[in-house]
Amino acid sequence: MSWFKRENHAIINDAEKTVRTEGLWIKCGNCGQAIFKADLEANLQVCPKCGFYFRFDARHRIENLLEPGYQLVDLELRSTDPLQFTDLKPYKKRLAEAQKKTGLNDAIINAIGHMGPHAVVLSVMEYSFIGGSMGAVVGETIARAIDRSLETRHPLIIVSASGGARMMEGIASLMQLAKISAGLARLDDAGIPYISLMTDPTTGGVTASFAMLGDLNIAEPGALIGFAGPRVIEQTIRQKLPEGFQRSEFLLEHGFLDAVVERKDLKSYLVRALGWMTNAQEGAA
Residues 6+ apart with CB under 8 A from 39: 48
The neighbour count for residue 95, using CB atoms within 10 Å, is 21
Distance CA 220, CA 103 (A): 25
| Residue ranges covered by each domain of the chain | 24-54, 56-284
179: buried, middle or exposed (CB in 10 Å: 19+, 13-18, 0-12)? middle
Closest CA to 53 of 225, 221, 251: 221
Distance CA 166, CA 67 (A): 32
pTM of the model: 0.89
Residue type, 273: A
For 78, the 3-state DSSP assignment is coil
Residues 6+ apart with CB under 8 A from 196: 157, 158, 160, 210, 211, 212, 213, 214, 216, 217, 218
pLDDT string in tens for the chain (285-residue length): 555 555 555 445 454 554 455 578 999 989 999 999 999 999 999 999 999 999 999 999 999 999 999 999 999 999 989 899 999 999 999 999 999 999 999 999 999 999 999 999 999 999 999 999 999 999 999 999 999 999 999 999 999 999 999 999 999 999 999 999 999 999 999 999 999 999 999 999 999 999 999 999 999 999 999 999 888 999 999 999 998 899 999 999 999 999 999 999 999 999 999 999 988 555 555
Peptide bond into 201 cis (omega under 30): yes
Architecture of domain 56-284: Alpha-Beta Complex (3.90)
Q: How does DSSP classify residue 132?
A: G
